[in-house]
A and B are shown apart, each in its own frame.
Chain A
Amino acid sequence: MFEAVSELRTPLTTEPVSYGQVTDDIARPMEGKPTRLWYIGISISATFLLLGAIAIIYTITTGIGTWGLNRTVGWAFDITNFVFWVGIGHAGTLISAVLFLFRQRWRTAVNRSAEAMTIFAVLCAALFPLIHMGRPWLAFWPLPYPNMRGSLWINWRSPLFWDVIAISTYFIISATFWYIGLIPDFATLRDRVSGMRKKIFGFMSLGWNGSARTWMRYEVVYLLLAGLATPLVFSVHTIVSFDFATSVIPGWHTTIFPPYFVAGAIFSGLSMVLTLMLVARRVMRLENYVTKSHVSAMCKLIIGMGGIVGLAYATEFFIAWYSGNDYERFVFMNRALGPMAWAYWIMVSCNVIVPQFFWSKRLRANLGVVFALSLLINVGMWFERFVIIVTSLHRDYLPSSWTSYTPTLIEVVTLLGSFGLFFTLFLLFCRFLPVIAMGEVKGVVNYTRRSASRSAQEPTPENEA
């Protein structure tokens, strides 16, 4: 009566499951002992995190001179990492908000971990401008608070300040969205466990009891937040691109930057979601929920976004030639053929050529190949930001100040440390929070399955216990 059953669509879980089974399957990894793989993963990532912390402490106590920056190349590794991590975050919002608005119900299997990824990635991103300030204990200065200097207000006309506001807003709204999604699941967990954990989950679930009136309001708020997060995610990376586009550096001063950056951000984030999805499904044994068709859908999105990114590269090159501006033309020829050409061609092959393999259904079904290709795209997208930032700077207007840039060990270790932070947080999340939104998956387990009559849902001895 209330359910559309289509024989043509594939169900969203591999095996039919009951609601109780969904709770059990998703809560199990949180209740038992972690797997060996989890311990191995967290040891490696925590080691990187520790190394990164040492590098950052050394940077702050010694100064930015520990980095390979010079007068010509004043932005390099750290801003590359900043843009890279912000971009990673954006696919989380795309999956949780944009796919929600498009009623893509397969997203329920991956939205929770994608949102977690957004929050952790934004944390990693925020780290880099903070340490680049040199005096991070003054990081509150860009906030518009009444102060003893006048009040001397901040310069609202600066794109760098827009960035501060955009990233903070993005972090706050993403974290709120994530928490709102977690409340019903916290209630489910509260009613399963006992002792200290019951107290914590009870506190976090805010007294949720599954009332239909609350559910109705909750759904409205969820939809509104999705609707707010969608323009937000586009605005955030647009503003990140303004950091470059509003300057007068050839190679940066282009109107294509906002859409180009947004497409690149979503592209890189999708490949990171894919990487994490394949890890989480294996480590947490959630193969029945994160199915091959989810992986395949992600691959198709990557082909689409990769196409947009490739088009942006071509457009940028064409416009540099078409502008007739010697400096523009030089920057682009220098990118493709100059001393940093290796970075440019890594970028092109990873971001334009690699996604083309996903056209093949056979390759999409081979998870090992998908994993390797998703890693390559991550590498390619990191190099995209490196190419944009470093190649535009190292040959400036005055040939006498031409120079090169090589990262120091400290910078490389700081980058590895940010990966350590990201994966440590992600693995802790996998261990202590439900990686799949139970409340949402239960709504789709019967999707396209003829079911839901009394007899089909009758409790069996296994899930009764």
Chain B
Amino acid sequence: MSARIHTGVFVSDVDLLSATTAVREAGYRIVDAYTPFAVHGLDRAMGLRPSRLTWVCFLCGLFGLAFMTWFQYWSSAVDWPINVGGKPWNSWPAFVPVAFEGTILFAGLGVVAALFIRAGLRPGREAKLPAPRVTDDRFVLVVASSQGDQAPDELGALLRSHGAVEVSEDLEGTLV
């Protein structure tokens, strides 16, 4: 990537939010922000689209419900029907609790698996931190500018004016 990558380090979430809004309004591309906690409103400031994980959760739950309902029916009415107290083979009201638990189990585990895949979280993955202390008390905004070498300090000045305590430039683009 030939774009120049600027990294601004902030000490407060409020500064990060105002910087993010300003940088985006100025037309730069925000690569990502890094924060020690979930800063509310940051997704809107960065212009992120709402996550589709809710759909994954819904579909996994639906699958769990269908699968557990079918499995209970198949095993007690088709594969080996057993007379339990004269109840019908397909005594479906008694299958409701297990079908419900199956729904929750599949939905919960499915959405967590989807999160891990989508966010690339996996055991043994090396964490690439844009700046030290970003998991402690620092907020980092990574911005790409395609302006080339002229006006080198425009973006840096903008970040600084919104409270960045440290601005660095990373020409290699190693972070992205």
Contact = CB atoms under 8 A, between A and B. Distances in A.
Interface of A: 1-3, 18-20, 22-23, 144, 150-153, 155-157, 159, 161-162, 165-166, 169, 172-173, 176-177, 180, 183-184, 187-188, 190-192, 202-221, 224-225, 228-229, 231-232, 235, 239, 242, 438-440, 442-443, 452-454, 456-459, 463
Interface string B127-142: 1111011111100000
Given A212-B42, A452-B15, 16 more contacts: A1-B18, A20-B137, A150-B80, A152-B80, A162-B101, A173-B109, A207-B124, A209-B130, A212-B33, A212-B35, A217-B51, A217-B115, A218-B38, A228-B57, A453-B12, A458-B11
A221 B53 contact: yes
B169 interface: no
A19 B36 contact: yes
A207 B34 contact: no
A229 B101 CA distance: 11
A221 B115 contact: yes
Contact of A210 (B76, B122, B135): B135
A440 B37 contact: yes
A214 B119 contact: yes
B67 to A, nearest CB: 12
B127 A207 contact: yes
Given A202-B127, A217-B51, A443 B101 contact: no
Interface residues on B, range: 35 or more
Interface of B: 11-15, 17-18, 32-43, 46, 48, 51, 53-54, 57, 61, 71-72, 75-76, 79-80, 82, 84, 87, 91, 94-95, 97-98, 100-102, 104-105, 107-109, 111-112, 115-116, 118-130, 132-137, 163
A165 B109 contact: no
Contacts of B38: 215-216, 218-219, 439, 443
A224 B136 contact: no
A193 B139 CA distance: 20
Contacts of A452: 12-15
B121 A183 contact: yes
A209 B34 contact: yes
Nearest to A227: B57
Given A1-B18, A212-B32, A225 B112 contact: yes
Nearest to A187: B135
8 contacts: A2-B40, A156-B76, A176-B108, A191-B127, A207-B128, A210-B129, A218-B38, A224-B53
Given A439-B37, A443-B38, A210 B104 contact: no
A46 B128 CA distance: 41
A188 B97 contact: no
B127 A209 contact: yes
B32 A188 contact: no
Contact of A209 (B97, B123, B129): B129
Contacts of B127: 187, 190-191, 202, 205, 207-209
Contact of A156 (B15, B32, B95, B137): B95
User: Which residue, of A152, A209, A212, A228, has the highest number of chain B Cβ atoms within 10 A?
Assistant: A212
Contact of A232 (B54, B104, B135): B104
Contacts of A458: 11
Nearest to A162: B97
B11 A153 contact: no
A118 to B, nearest CB: 14
A413 to B, nearest CB: 33
